[in-house]
């Protein structure tokens, strides 16, 4: 009976590998006809390379040939039989929802899904981004059973929150903008953010949580008010300091990405990122989270191989 099961598994693997070889050959033949989703005049590949120094990675992809592709295909196909999905929960405000992405590709989450899929990782992303969410509103959403259930299964959590907290202070004090209300609200934001982290870690004790910093969302309207830029810096620093208190908490900066000159990164509302801005965000996030994902999948695959060896020895 064991020999029959092994033979069936061997046939499944062989058929799957044959299909993948065919797809690899097809991809190689069509590679020259691929077109970029980003508008060509924005030259996004060049910008990504400049910001994140992705030259080596791009060159490595270009140097891949059929034989190395076949090797990776075999390894990844076998891996599907021995490891579970890697689950990511993306949650927070409009930056996670992808507002401003006129291509309807899902914002930075869509970038992650595309890139991780291209790498043939078995990664699943649940997106709970909601436009306008402040930290107090997100805390209430964490009581939702569907969200809690998803967080309990999460291996990684991506979080954007804080920009709308600042926006509320601006709206409440628009006729007399002073630094003090922002300072007071930042203290409250810090308390709520810590509670958000604690709740997430309680639901998913082993998950790594990545807080994605925000850029100055008011620069398109108040570019000459330096104080607002300093307020954004202070809020990001406060949030980053919290992530340094726990090894499972991480901070990913994005403010510098939106300070690039001679390239349009904001949508028509001058508040949310456009597809180019989200692409930069996604690439930045990938450089931070990819090593964690690959290490986890490799560990899972190794455990699966060990289990197979133990079974065969019985």
Q: Which pLDDT tens digit goes with each residue over 135-193?
A: 999 999 999 999 999 999 999 999 999 999 999 998 888 777 788 999 999 999 999 99
Torsion of CA 55, 56, 61, 67, to 10 degrees: 160
pLDDT band at residue 220, thresholds of 50, 70 and 90?
low
Q: Which pLDDT tens digit goes with each residue over 50-74?
A: 544 443 443 444 444 334 443 343 3
| Mean model confidence pLDDT for the chain | 78
The reported pTM is 0.71
Residue 73 is predicted with a pLDDT of 38
- Helix 275-313, helix 66-80: angle, nearest 10: 70
Residue 174 is predicted with a pLDDT of 76
Query: Does 281 score more than 70 pLDDT?
Result: yes
pLDDT band at residue 109, thresholds of 50, 70 and 90?
very high
pLDDT band at residue 196, thresholds of 50, 70 and 90?
very high
**Residue 252: beta bridge partners?**
212
Q: What percent of the chain has pLDDT over 70?
A: 65
Residue 296 is predicted with a pLDDT of 85
| CA proximity to 58, closest of 34, 50, 66, 23 | 50
Q: Which pLDDT tens digit goes with each residue over 21-39?
A: 554 444 444 433 333 333 3
pLDDT band at residue 228, thresholds of 50, 70 and 90?
confident
Domains of the chain in start order, with CATH, are 84-313 (3.40.50.1110)
Q: 213 with 240: CB under 8 angstroms?
A: yes
Residue 27 is predicted with a pLDDT of 40
Residue 17 is predicted with a pLDDT of 54
Residue 223 is predicted with a pLDDT of 60
Q: 200 with 246: CB under 8 angstroms?
A: no
Q: Which pLDDT tens digit goes with each residue over 70-102?
A: 334 334 433 333 345 799 999 999 999 999 999
Q: What is the mean pLDDT of residues 232-249?
A: 96
| CA proximity to 155, closest of 200, 204, 117, 112 | 204
């Amino acid at each position: 009976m064991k020999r029959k099961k092994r033979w069936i598994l061997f046939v499944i693997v062989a058929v799957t590998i044959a299909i993948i070889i065919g797809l690899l050959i097809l991809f190689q033949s069509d590679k020259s006809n691929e077109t970029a989703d980003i508008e060509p005049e924005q030259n996004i590949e060049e910008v990504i390379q400049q910001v994140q120094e992705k030259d080596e990675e791009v060159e490595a992809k270009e140097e891949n040939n059929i034989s190395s592709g076949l090797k990776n295909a075999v390894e990844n196909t076998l891996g599907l039989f021995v490891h579970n999905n890697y689950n990511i929960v993306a949650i927070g405000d409009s930056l996670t929802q992808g507002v401003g992405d006129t291509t309807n590709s899902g914002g930075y989450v869509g970038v992650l899904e595309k890139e991780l899929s291209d790498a043939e990782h078995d990664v699943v992303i649940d997106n709970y981004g909601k436009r306008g969410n402040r930290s107090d509103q997100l805390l209430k959403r964490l009581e939702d059973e569907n969200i809690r259930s998803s967080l309990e299964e999460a291996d990684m959590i991506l979080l954007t929150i804080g920009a709308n907290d600042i926006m509320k202070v601006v709206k409440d004090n628009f006729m007399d903008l002073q630094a003090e209300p922002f300072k007071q609200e930042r203290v409250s934001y810090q308390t709520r953010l810590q509670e958000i982290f604690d709740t997430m870690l309680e639901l998913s004790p082993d998950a790594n949580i990545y807080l994605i910093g925000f850029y100055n969302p008011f620069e398109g309207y108040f570019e000459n008010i330096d104080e607002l830029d300093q307020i954004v810096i202070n809020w990001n620093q406060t949030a980053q300091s919290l992530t340094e208190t726990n090894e499972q908490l991480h901070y990913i900066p994005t403010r510098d990405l939106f300070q690039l000159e001679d390239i349009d990164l904001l949508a028509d509302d001058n508040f949310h990122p456009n597809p180019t801005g989200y692409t930069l965000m996604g690439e930045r996030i990938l450089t931070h989270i990819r090593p964690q994902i690959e290490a986890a999948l490799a560990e899972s695959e190794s455990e699966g191989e060990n289990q197979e060896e133990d079974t065969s020895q019985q």
